Structure 1
Amino acid sequence: MQMQTFQAAQATLHVQKTGDGPPVVLIHGLSGSSRWWRRNIPALSREHQVFVLDLVGYGRAWRQRALSVQAASQLIADWLETEDLSDVTLIGHSMGGHIALRAAALAPERVDRLVLACASGLLKTSPTRAALKLPHAMMVGRPSFVPRIMADALRAGPLNLWHGASDLLRDSVHDLLPQISARTLVIWGARDVLVPVALGRTLAAAIPGAEYHEIPRAGHVVMVDAPETFNRLVLSFMKESEAV
């Protein structure tokens, strides 16, 4: 896997690249990292060029202050422009889905498809109340993944996590959704306790033509809890939308 960085406005985006074919960009969520896609990259990279991001303040880019959702979206849109990427599929989890939505709105000529996995953007709560749900969320998800969650959260640090959570909870995408032109797939874990399935259904209903799928027994980190089903849904969606 090739490593590269993109610098703009004193922020550095870390990017890993593998595979060949139409571009797919993976965007992790709050407290996450590029490692959260380990169970998805092999399947996606068989027929696609996969770019895996570490957002500013997280993962390999942890030595920086995290950006707001809107600033991170602009950075990704600028990176797509610099790399001259087109016919892009943006796949975002949780806050990464929130960022992907805004990036797609900023660069509609480059983003052709969106996959939103348990995306934030409509959640209305406080950072404290959201944090109180984390133990339950980890119990619902894949137990073997808990050490990775904890390690990445520690690496990001409490300030980045607090500022990130506060910002995403202030930033609603409600008015943006009807304007999304990218073909969209919304995937939710039926047992998601952080971003309830009702919000997933509302999100999908507000985006023109969006598909919606719920995966039974999967929690918030749906691409880790049910990787085979997640990969199958994503690959099928991309293949079907390419044929349109």
Structure 2
Amino acid sequence: MTINFQSFGEGEPLVVIHGLFGTSDNLKAVAKQLSDQFKVYLIDAPGHGDSTSLPLLSLENMANAVFEFLEQQNLSTVSILGHSLGGKIAMELALRHPDRVEKLLVADIAPVQYKPRHDDIISSLKAVPLTQIKSRQEADAILAKKISEPGVRGFLLKSLARADGGWRWRFDLDQLANDYNELIKGNLEATYEGPVLMIIGGESNYVLPEYRSEIVNRFPSAEAKVIAGAGHWLHAERQTAFVKICRDFLLR
């Protein structure tokens, strides 16, 4: 297992993990802003970007891969910021290796079992004939048949790259599709006693009030900050507020 990463800055280590179908570049602007006070390790999650994939992309296996990355980089303790699936991976790592996580920041995701909500995205991605299309515009037209939001399509198309004989997705689409139910499972039922900040988009439906007990059972010291007017992509939609919230929590 090889984790691809970028690093910025000097100081206490902060590992940043993006969400499903993304790459490390998704949070690069956030990482660069925080790199004035921290050494930020911006990683591609397993099965994404230029990181290798796994035979089973479960939360446990992905968290273990990140743990191996910490070992390879000789990082004894780190703070971790994860968005969406990256937040699931970050929570899993903290629950399995609490002694290695100094602080945990989770952006717009909860440790609960979710219902499937990416079926149209997965089927649309699979419908793109990678050896036949000539441009991103053609891929966008195919995705638009089921994905109406231009922003979502634009996000996905950032991971469409040229390859020999056509194009390729910069994520392991087949494995992610096969293991999708593993990615939306509830996190390990254990306890992480360290500092936890849940950053929630005020217009998002990913973290609901009824999830409070499952959050507190695993993370008894968890606190929450809601960014008004932001949806699930809160780190991009309200970047200044997001970075300030992260910085204030990390510097406490």
Q: RMSD over aligned Cα, in angstroms?
A: 2.8
The match for 2:208 is 197
Structure 2 residue aligned with 1:173: 187
1:214 Cα deviation (Å)? 1.1
- Distance, in Å, in 2 between the alignment partners of 1:108 and 1:36 is 26
The structure in which a higher percent of residues are helix is 1
Deviation at 1:96, TM superposition (A): 0.9
| AA matched with 2:61 | A
SS in 1 for 2:251: helix
Closer/same/farther in 2, CA of residues 62 and 109 from structure 1, 3 Å limit:
closer
Whole-angstrom CA distance in 2 between matches of 1:50 and 1:12? 18
TM-score (norm 2): 0.76
Matched, 1:112 2:63: no
Contact 1:58–1:66 (Cα < 8 Å) also in 2: no
The verdict on how the C-alpha distance between 1:59 and 1:199 changes in structure 2, with shifts beyond 3 A counting, is farther
Q: Which runs of 5+ in 1 are unaligned?
A: 1-10
SS at match of 1:214: strand
- In structure 2, give the amino acid aligned to 1:198: P
Deviation of 1:73 (Å): 0.5
Partner SS, residue 124 of structure 1: coil
Task: Count residues with an aligned counterpart.
Answer: 221
With over 3 angstroms needed to count, the CA separation of the structure-2 counterparts of 1:63 and 1:98, relative to structure 1, is closer
For 1:18, which of 2, 5, 8 is the aligned residue?
8
* 1:19-98 matched pairs, under 5 angstroms: 19-61=9-51, 67-98=57-88
Q: Bigger shift: 202-211 or 213-222?
A: 202-211
Identity %: 25
**Residues 1:32 and 1:198: Cα distance change in structure 2 (over 3 Å):** farther
Q: Deviations over 1:38-89 (max 9, x none)?
A: 2201211001000011112111236776732111101111221332213411
Between stretches 228-237 and 66-75, larger displacement belongs to 66-75
Q: Tell me, in whole angstroms, the C-alpha distance in 2 between the residues paired with 1:208 and 1:46.
A: 30
Question: In 2 relative to 1, CA 133–147 (structure 1 residues): closer, same or farther, beyond 3 Å?
Answer: closer
SS in 1 for 2:98: coil
Structure 1 residue 149: deviation in Å? Answer: 3.0
- Alpha-carbon contact 2:103-2:194 (below 8 Å) kept: yes
> SS at the partner of 2:79?
strand
CA 1:81/1:12 → structure 2, altered by over 3 Å: closer, same or farther? closer
